[in-house]
Amino acid sequence: MAWEQPELLSEAEAFYSQLLDKTNAELELGGISRQEVTEGLTEITQLHERK
């Protein structure tokens, strides 16, 4: 499981953090909303904190 591999969580956090640097238009071109990115980062951060 991903939450059992802290390096994967760190990579996922970095990826989602980079997405937050994108404009809304760039995110929409990629088929994702800023809200989805924020929610994903929140979930990953919570998993990471459980370790």
Provide the pLDDT confidence category of residue 45 given band limits of 50, 70 and 90.
confident
pTM assigned to the model: 0.78
Provide the terminal-to-terminal Cα distance of the chain, rounded to the nearest Å.
Answer: 12
Q: Per residue in 3-22, pLDDT tens?
A: 567 788 889 899 999 999 99
Phi, psi of 36 (to 5 degrees): -65, -40
Q: Which is higher by pLDDT, 40 or 1?
A: 40
Measured at the alpha carbon of residue 9, what is the angle toward residues 4 and 10, in degrees to the nearest 5? 130
